[in-house]
Amino acid sequence: MARPRSSAARDATRTGLVVAHEFPTGPASAETAAHTFAELADRVASDTGWAALSFAFRGAGASRGHFSPGGWLQDLQAAVDLLRGEVSTVWLAGFGFGGTLALRVAAIDPAIGGVAALAAPSDLSTLAEDPRRLAVAAYRAGLTETDAPDDLDVWADDLAGINPLESAAAIPPRPLLIVHGSADEEVPLVDARALADAAAGEADLRVIAMAGHRLRHDPRAIALLLGWLERRDA
């Protein structure tokens, strides 16, 4: 939890941001999946005056449990509930699959103030049809103990229910920022345009030239996010 410098006049109405990390890829990458997101939360608090909460989804970092799509959705909802104990309004920012989950949580919860989705996929139908692909990736990253969990049918239903396009359509008139790299090697740029189209043109779509998928490590993406938050506060 990152808190800005205290102000008695401001604290009662302070806005907060929950930051959701992306799905880790590569062998044993789960351990460091959320490694730099606490630093990002500190940056949000110091630069914008917002409170900011970062966390590790189940199975990642030091968090117990094992990955599942529905489990990660519950984790993000729990983080929102936690931050609501300190602020008047909660906003969300998510990277990759974390961005897709942020869209879904905001679609379900109309009290969410706004959403920033960075490098978020717009279509999970392929994974819903064959969730074992996701299970193998989760096992390889260290998010689970097996590449063939017993509840793959539940995973399929949860993935189908997340529905990024339907979620994006439910965000307006609340603010929606979509950031994508033009050279994203994992999620095509067309996904960002599809999310913006689903929001009926009310999304703020920003494309970063020659940026890849890991926008957490691109200073241009972070500057866009911070600037967007500051303008919303103003």
For 156-168, write each residue's pLDDT tens digit: 999 999 999 999 9
Mean pLDDT, all residues of the chain: 95
First to last CA, the chain: 23
Q: Which residues pair with 110 in a beta bridge?
A: none
Closest listed residue to residue 65, CA positions, set 128, 11, 119, 142 = 142
The percent of residues above 90 in pLDDT, for the chain, comes to: 94
Question: Which of the four pLDDT bands, split at 50, 70 and 90, describes residue 8?
Answer: very low
List the structure tokens of 92.
Answer: 């969300």
CA distances to 5, 91, 94, 96, 213 from 183, in Å: 38, 27, 19, 14, 8
Residue 52 has pLDDT above 80, yes or no: yes
- Give the pLDDT confidence score for residue 233 in this predicted structure: 66
Q: Between 209 and 233, name the one with better pLDDT.
A: 209
List the structure tokens of 206.
Answer: 């920003």
H helix runs in the chain, sequence order:
8-11, 37-48, 69-83, 97-108, 125-129, 132-141, 152-162, 164-169, 189-198, 219-233
Q: What span, in angstroms and rounded, lies between the C-alpha atoms of 107 and 91?
A: 12
Characterize the bridge pairing of strands 176-181 and 51-54.
Answer: unpaired
* Number of helical (H) and strand (E) elements in the chain, helices listed first: 10, 6
- Give the pLDDT confidence score for residue 7 in this predicted structure: 55
Residue 187 has pLDDT above 60, yes or no: yes
Q: What span, in angstroms and rounded, lies between the C-alpha atoms of 101 and 222?
A: 19
- Give the pLDDT confidence score for residue 13 in this predicted structure: 55
pLDDT digits (tens, 9 = 90+) for 66-118: 999 999 999 999 999 999 999 999 999 999 999 999 999 999 999 999 999 99
Domains of the chain: 8-233 (3.40.50.1820)
Residue 12 has pLDDT above 80, yes or no: no
Q: Are 93 and 225 in contact (CB under 8 A)?
A: yes
**Average pLDDT rounded to a whole number, residues 127-148:** 97
Residue 11 has pLDDT above 60, yes or no: no
- Give the pLDDT confidence score for residue 234 in this predicted structure: 54
Please tell me the pTM assigned to this model.
Answer: 0.95
Q: What span, in angstroms and rounded, lies between the C-alpha atoms of 93 and 91?
A: 7
- Give the pLDDT confidence score for residue 9 in this predicted structure: 42
Residue 10 has pLDDT above 90, yes or no: no
Q: Between 201 and 2, name the one with better pLDDT.
A: 2
Residue 124 has pLDDT above 90, yes or no: yes
- Give the pLDDT confidence score for residue 201 in this predicted structure: 87
